[in-house]
């Protein structure tokens, strides 16, 4: 067995790892790289292996940085099977279509506002490529041993990161390799806690927060209440860029709870995203993935719907929010502020000091979300410079990624038998810090591979 790292290597986006077993080639994830436009274009459009040489893809979860380049893989010749959990497949149906639509709409917008000599923006893929991709998915429930090819099989476990997310154990040529996917946090709203894995020889482990600890989850709802009340006291609007899968639903649930407990005043709350609406419907269709607390909430009513909440599909209704009077909350993807309707809300609100932008998840380097979080005084939004005068608050304790100690705890049951750990999905400093901590704690060799590095197992 051989593994080669093509994406999320000393980086936190574009997850893609090639596994060679028995003369066949497989991909663990096929994610879209997000960051500087030129670098993202180059890396997303140009695969480092012939797509037609890949026999199958095993998908850890539906987030776009893990699944978003699947239609481009198909466009370039891939025709194999894509294995994923049923919830991940349902989410991909919505998310890949939305990604294609956003790319097509953004290309049209930029074309209308381009200057002579500007390079035309061409979508990575269109809905036509998504339509060719969806029939290749094969649903595989958790804990189901599945043969990919003679002598090569895998089983998935709940990663506790988002609906349908999985860690997996792959077995072939006498070697057992685990891929963590993105490991969640115990006690997150809605979803179950991460499953422990059975013994393996090697582990590919995410390292997003490999050098730090999160605030306790008990502080999340208090911080959210404080940000909401502080913004309302100024007569401002709260703009919340949020990942359509997982984060939107968590925020809705928490705001529902705060409203019920009268810890925030009643005010209009808008989820502005056709994708978030579709994803929430997928959540409602997969209660088997919920934790016990959410199941109890479900028994008393709809956890994702209440009187002050409105889901917006139509773009004209979205535009009306820009001229709406009074305080309100808008939750809108994308979580890293790289595309979608949230860009229009940010453009119309970041220059007013009474408003707040609430960042609720990891922001990759060079994304607009990272620039806002870092307090860059002037940011480009939809090709226009905007002065950042709004408050920028952060709610990182809602992160769907385990922190350093949570990752150490998660690998503890399998640490004794591990020969090596490969750290991915983390910036170089975070990955190297976690490598040192793993070696110190368990005496295991841990490395942070660079893009293109290969290892024989």
Query: What CATH number is associated with residue 343?
Result: 3.40.50.10890
- Count of beta carbons in the 10 Å neighbourhood of residue 120: 8
Residue that finishes a domain, picked among 398, 417, 440? 398
Residues 338 and 325 reside in one and the same domain: yes
pLDDT at 251: 92
Residues 197 and 222 reside in one and the same domain: no
Residues 440 and 317 reside in one and the same domain: no
385 φψ region: left (φ > 0), alpha (ψ -120 to 50), beta (else) = beta
pLDDT at 268: 95
Residues 323 and 358 reside in one and the same domain: yes
Average pLDDT, the chain: 93
Cα–Cα dist 152/170, whole Å: 7
Angstrom distances, CA of residue 254 to CA of 84, 196, 259, 407, 457: 29, 27, 9, 25, 45
pLDDT at 40: 84
Residues 297-335, buried b or exposed e (16+ Cβ, 10 A)? beeeeebbebebbebbeeeeebeebeeeeebbbbbbbbb
- Nearest residue to 204 (alpha-carbon basis) of 431, 452, 440, 14: 431
Residues 181 and 46 reside in one and the same domain: yes
Residues 393 and 445 reside in one and the same domain: no
pTM of the entire predicted model: 0.85
Residues 151 and 221 reside in one and the same domain: no
pLDDT at 206: 98
Cα–Cα dist 427/278, whole Å: 32
Residues 389 and 444 reside in one and the same domain: no
pLDDT at 375: 96
Angstrom distances, CA of residue 150 to CA of 24, 153, 167, 171: 11, 8, 22, 11
The predicted model gives 117-123 an average pLDDT of 80
pLDDT at 217: 56
45 φψ region: left (φ > 0), alpha (ψ -120 to 50), beta (else) = alpha
pLDDT at 35: 74
At 57, phi and psi to the nearest 5? -120, 135
Could you list the residue range(s) of the whole structural domain that residue 141 is in? Answer: 2-212+400-456
Residues 387 and 248 reside in one and the same domain: yes
pLDDT at 38: 79
* Per-residue pLDDT band at 218 (split at 50, 70, 90): low
pLDDT at 216: 64
Do the bridges between strand 384-387 and strand 378-381 make them parallel or antiparallel, or are there none, so unpaired? Answer: antiparallel
Angstrom distances, CA of residue 416 to CA of 13, 105, 207: 30, 51, 20
pLDDT at 339: 83
Residue that finishes a domain, picked among 398, 423, 443? 398
Residues 146 and 244 reside in one and the same domain: no
User: CATH no. for residue 162?
Assistant: 3.60.15.10
The predicted model gives 26-37 an average pLDDT of 90
Contact 30, 70 (CB under 8 A): yes
pLDDT at 42: 86
What's the number of domains the chain is made of?
Answer: 2
Reply yes or no on whether the pLDDT at 167 is more than 70.
yes
Residues 54 and 141 reside in one and the same domain: yes
Reply yes or no on whether the pLDDT at 298 is more than 90.
no
Residues 227 and 375 reside in one and the same domain: yes
At 414, phi and psi to the nearest 5? -110, 0
Cα–Cα dist 414/417, whole Å: 6
pLDDT at 362: 83
Name the more confident of 444 and 334: 444
Cα–Cα dist 269/98, whole Å: 22
Q: Of the ranges 7-21, 76-90, 98-112, 229-243, which one carries the lowest mean pLDDT score?
A: 98-112
pLDDT at 277: 84
Reply yes or no on whether the pLDDT at 249 is more than 80.
yes
Cα–Cα dist 95/233, whole Å: 36
Cα–Cα dist 28/300, whole Å: 39
Q: What is the pLDDT of residues 126-147, one digit of tens each?
A: 999 999 999 999 999 999 999 9
pLDDT at 120: 77
pLDDT at 272: 94
Angstrom distances, CA of residue 138 to CA of 60, 97, 327, 407: 13, 18, 45, 29
Name the more confident of 8 and 301: 8
Q: What is the pLDDT of residues 389-444, one digit of tens each?
A: 999 999 877 788 999 999 999 999 999 999 999 999 999 999 999 999 999 999 99
Q: For residue 210, with 0-12 CB atoms within 10 Å meaning exposed, 13-18 middle and 19 or more buried, which class applies?
A: buried
Residue that finishes a domain, picked among 398, 416, 434? 398
Q: What is the pLDDT of residues 253-284, one digit of tens each?
A: 899 889 989 999 999 999 998 888 888 889 98
Reply yes or no on whether the pLDDT at 183 is more than 70.
yes
Contact 199, 417 (CB under 8 A): yes
Encoded tokens for 155:
């089983």
């Amino acid at each position: 067995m051989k593994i080669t790292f093509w994406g999320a290597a000393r980086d936190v986006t574009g997850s893609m790892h090639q596994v060679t077993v028995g003369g066949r080639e497989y991909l663990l994830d096929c994610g879209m790289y997000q960051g500087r436009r030129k670098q993202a274009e180059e890396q997303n459009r140009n695969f480092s292996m012939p797509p037609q040489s890949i026999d199958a893809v095993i998908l850890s979860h539906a987030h776009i940085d893990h699944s978003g380049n699947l239609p481009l893989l198909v466009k370039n010749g891939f025709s194999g099977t894509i294995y994923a959990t049923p919830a991940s497949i349902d989410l991909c149906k919505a998310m890949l279509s939305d990604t294609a639509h956003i790319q097509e709409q953004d290309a049209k917008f930029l074309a209308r506002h381009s200057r002579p000599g500007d390079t035309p923006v061409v979508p990575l893929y269109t809905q036509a490529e998504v339509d060719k991709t969806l029939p290749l998915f094969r649903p595989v429930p958790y804990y189901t041993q599945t043969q990919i090819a003679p002598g090569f099989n895998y089983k998935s476990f709940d990663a506790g990161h988002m609906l349908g997310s999985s860690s997996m154990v792959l077995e072939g040529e006498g070697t057992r390799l685990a891929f963590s996917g993105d490991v969640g946090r115990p006690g997150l709203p809605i979803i179950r806690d991460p499953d422990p894995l059975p013994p393996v020889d090697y582990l590919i482990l995410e390292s997003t927060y490999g050098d730090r600890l999160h605030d306790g989850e008990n502080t999340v709802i208090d911080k959210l209440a404080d940000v909401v009340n502080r913004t309302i006291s100024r007569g401002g609007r709260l703009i919340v860029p949020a990942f359509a899968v997982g984060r939107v639903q968590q925020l809705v649930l928490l705001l529902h709870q705060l409203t019920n407990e009268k810890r925030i005043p009643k005010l209009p709350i808008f989820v502005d995203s056709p994708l978030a609406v579709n994803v929430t419907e997928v959540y409602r269709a997969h209660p088997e993935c919920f934790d016990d607390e959410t199941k109890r909430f479900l028994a008393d009513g709809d956890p994702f719907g209440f009187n002050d909440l409105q889901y917006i599909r139509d773009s004209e209704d979205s535009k009306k929010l820009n001229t709406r009077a009074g305080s309100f909350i808008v939750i809108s993807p994308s979580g890293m502020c790289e595309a979608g309707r949230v860009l229009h809300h940010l453009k119309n609100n970041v220059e007013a000091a009474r408003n707040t932008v609430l960042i609720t998840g990891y922001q990759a380097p060079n994304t607009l979300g990272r620039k806002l979080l870092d307090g860059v005084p002037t940011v480009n939004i939809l090709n226009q410079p905007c002065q950042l005068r709004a408050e920028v608050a952060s709610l990182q304790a809602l992160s769907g990624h385990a922190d350093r100690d949570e990752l150490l705890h998660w690998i503890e049951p399998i640490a004794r038998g591990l020969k090596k750990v490969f750290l991915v999905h983390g910036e170089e400093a975070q990955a190297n810090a976690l490598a040192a901590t793993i070696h110190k704690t368990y005496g295991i060799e841990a490395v942070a591979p660079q893009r293109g590095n290969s290892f024989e197992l």
